[in-house]
């Protein structure tokens, strides 16, 4: 489509009416996200001749990465909370800056810039996926009317529906701990359990047995025994994924083989099998609009759980999954942030990280709190906690059975 010059009126309402029409005209029929943003940057640059930079930064992990733009070359990556764009991301709201030199932490790209406006780009569900960033050579160029006008236009630019739906579901999933009370149907449960069993499994052995806890009294007992987490009792579906080294051992024996006793390696393989199957169940639940949460505390209280769930020696309850329909608050709650990939992925071999890198890696978890204070509290609450010590004691009790060869 060839561009037809338009004259933008000075009056804001009329200006934004025309700008919205222009944005829709030059992006509306395109599904490719990059093409949409590129033409949007051009339309905006035409409408704001005093703007010396108009473009987009898109969220990738812990950074905003440069997207399509009009103007001089710009910084290609911006950290969470850095500069005006990173601040818009952290504060989850638009920023209108009258004079950038007065903005603490401003990232200077063009010394001619005086004012700036940054508008979050959001998916239909409210999640931010990037920002629109505009710089102007005029001080105080952008106003609240511009903020409102641009916030009204940017939803036109989202082509999120065209994303890979599997990746999207993986990124959107978060643990859900409050449920509406509407039950998970039998068909949904079956679909979740079938998906779990479709997961990869070592030697196609399915070294797990899934306990479907339907008895409310057992759910209530688990809510107490798993470190007093009452939401367990309120979940519609509760599954305990047991690492099962018993059934093959018994099959070998009853089939006339002379099997060795299950050992630590067998258990680790079965735990891996369990975790993979459970994660398939999580993803299946997510695809059905259900929310789930793992409960690691099922590994605690060996003696109590063996009795409650009738676990034989070579069966270890590796993970519990509780599932229900998420409340609105849970759907809208932000997902906890993850560490940047550069710290999580080491090339070819393990790289021991020094204190500086560890601090950098965990800074996103500390958030606004001073790092040392946050770390000390986390250490006390998780690593040094009674439940963590009980987990080690309990797992050691389970391990006693896995003596191996005899």
Ligand X SMILES: Cc1cc2nc3c(=O)[nH]c(=O)nc-3n(C[C@H](O)[C@H](O)[C@H](O)COP(=O)(O)O)c2cc1C
Residue appearing with tokens 């599932």: 323
Task: Write each residue from 247 to 276 as x if it is in contact with ligand X (CB under 6 A), else as -, in one continuous string.
Answer: ------------------------------
Sheet holding 315-324, edge to edge: 208-212, 237-244, 315-324, 291-295
Q: Which helix (H) or strand (E) holds 136?
A: strand 128-136
Of the pair 96, 293, the CB lying nearest ligand X is at 293
Convert residues 277-316 into a mask of x (bound to ligand X by CB under 6 A) and - (unbound): ----------------xxxxx-------------------
Question: Quick one: tokens of 390?
Answer: 């009980």
Give min distance, CB of 230 to ligand X, in A: 11
| Exposed/middle/buried for residue 275 (C-beta within 10 Å: 0-12, 13-18, 19+) | middle
DSSP code of residue 199: S
Q: Which is nearer to ligand X, 335 or 369 (CB)?
A: 335
Provide the token pair at 203.
Answer: 């030697």
Closest distance between ligand X and the C-beta of residue 151, in Å? 28
Binding of ligand X by 335 (CB under 6 A): yes
Give min distance, CB of 193 to ligand X, in A. 19
Q: Does 319 bind ligand X (CB under 6 A)?
A: yes
Residue 123 CB, nearest distance to ligand X (Å)? 17
List 134's β-bridge partners, or say none.
Answer: 54, 117
Question: 13 vs 344, which CB is nearer to ligand X?
Answer: 344
Tabulate helix, strand, coil % of the chain (nearest 5): 45, 20, 35
175 near ligand X, judged by CB under 6 A: yes
**Are residues 292 and 175 in contact, defined by beta-carbon separation less than 8 angstroms?**
yes
In the complex with ligand X, which residue's Cβ is closer, 6 or 339?
A: 339
Q: In terms of CB distance, is 143 or 388 closer to ligand X?
A: 388
Of 170-178, 351-359, 388-396, 398-406, the window that binds ligand X (rule: CB under 6 A) is 170-178
Q: At what angle do helices 355-366 and 371-378 cross, to 10 degrees?
A: 80
- Site of tokens 């759910």: 219
Draw the binding track, 213-252, toward ligand X (x: CB under 6 A; -: no contact): ----------------x-----------------------
- Output the smallest distance, CB 405 to ligand X, in A: 30
Q: Which is nearer to ligand X, 45 or 237 (CB)?
A: 237
**Least distance CB 226 / ligand X (angstroms):** 6
Binding mask 130-169 for ligand X (x = CB under 6 A): ----------------------------------------
Could you give the CA distance from residue 58 to residue 130 in angstroms, rounded to a whole number? 4
Sign of CA dihedral 22, 23, 26, 30: negative
Residue nearest to ligand X (CB): 296
- Residues 6 or more apart whose CB falls under 8 angstroms from that of 111 comprise none
Look at strands 208-212 and 128-136 and give their pairing.
unpaired
User: Nearer Cβ to ligand X, position 12 or 174?
Assistant: 174
- Binding flag, residue 174, ligand X (CB under 6 A): yes
Query: Is 289 in contact with 215 (CB distance < 8 Å)?
Result: no
Cβ proximity to ligand X, 260 vs 382, nearer residue: 382
CA distance 393 to 397: 6
Q: How far apart are CA 113 and CA 51, in angstroms?
A: 9
- Compare residues 296 and 312 and give the one whose CB is closer to ligand X: 296
* Beta strands 237-244 and 63-71, pairing class: unpaired
The closest alpha carbon to 298, from 306, 310, 289, belongs to 306
Is the Cβ of residue 175 or residue 327 nearer to ligand X in the bound state? 175
- Please identify which residue in 186, 203, 255, 336 interacts with ligand X, judged by CB under 6 A: 336
Q: Minimum distance between the CB of residue 222 and ligand X, rounded to whole angstroms?
A: 11
**Cα angle, residue 343 at apex, residues 341 and 347 outer, rounded to 5°:** 85
**Cα–Cα distance measured from residue 297 to residue 393, given in angstroms and rounded to the nearest whole number:** 12
Instruction: Tell me which residues touch ligand X (CB under 6 A).
Output: 174-175, 177, 229, 293-297, 319, 335-336
């Amino acid at each position: 489509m060839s561009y037809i010059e338009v004259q933008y009126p000075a009056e804001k309402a009329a200006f934004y009416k025309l700008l919205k029409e222009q944005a829709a005209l030059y992006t509306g029929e395109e599904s490719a996200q990059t093409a949409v943003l590129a033409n949007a940057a051009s339309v905006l640059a035409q409408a704001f001749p005093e703007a010396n930079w108009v473009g987009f930064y898109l969220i990738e992990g812990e950074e905003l990465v440069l997207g399509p733009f009009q103007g001089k070359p710009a910084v290609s990556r911006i950290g969470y909370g850095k500069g005006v764009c990173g601040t818009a991301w952290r504060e989850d709201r638009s920023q209108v800056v009258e004079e950038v030199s007065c903005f603490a932490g401003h990232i200077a790209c063009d010394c001619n810039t005086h004012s700036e406006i940054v508008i979050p780009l959001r998916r239909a569900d409210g999640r931010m996926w990037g920002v629109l960033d505009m710089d102007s050579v005029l001080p105080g160029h952008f106003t609240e009317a511009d903020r409102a006008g641009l916030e009204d236009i940017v939803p036109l630019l989202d082509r999120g529906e065209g994303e890979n739906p599997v990746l999207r579901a993986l990124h959107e999933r978060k643990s859900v701990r409050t449920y509406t009370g509407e039950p998970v149907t039998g068909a949904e449960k079956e679909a979740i359990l079938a998906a779990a069993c479709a997961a990869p499994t070592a030697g196609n052995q399915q070294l797990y047995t899934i306990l479907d806890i339907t008895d409310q009294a057992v759910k209530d007992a688990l809510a107490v025994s798993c470190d007093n987490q009452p939401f367990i009792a309120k979940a519609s579906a509760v599954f305990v994924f047991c690492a099962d080294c018993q059934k093959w051992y018994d099959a070998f024996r009853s089939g006339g083989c002379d099997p060795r006793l299950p050992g630590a390696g067998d258990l680790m393989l079965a735990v891996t099998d369990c975790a993979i199957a459970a994660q398939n169940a999580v993803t299946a639940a997510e695809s059905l609009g259900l929310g789930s949460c793992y409960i690691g505390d099922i590994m605690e209280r060996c003696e109590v759980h063996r009795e409650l769930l009738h676990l034989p020696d070579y069966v270890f309850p590796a993970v519990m999954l509780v599932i229900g329909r998420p409340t609105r608050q849970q759907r809208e709650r932000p997902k906890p942030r993850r560490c940047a990939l550069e710290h999580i992925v080491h090339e070819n071999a393990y790289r021991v990280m020094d204190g500086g890198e560890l601090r950098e890696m965990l800074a996103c978890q500390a958030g606004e709190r001073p790092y040392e204070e946050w770390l000390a509290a986390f250490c006390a609450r998780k690593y040094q906690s009674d439940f963590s010590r009980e987990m080690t004691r309990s797992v050691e009790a389970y391990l006693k059975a896995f003596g191996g060869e005899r």
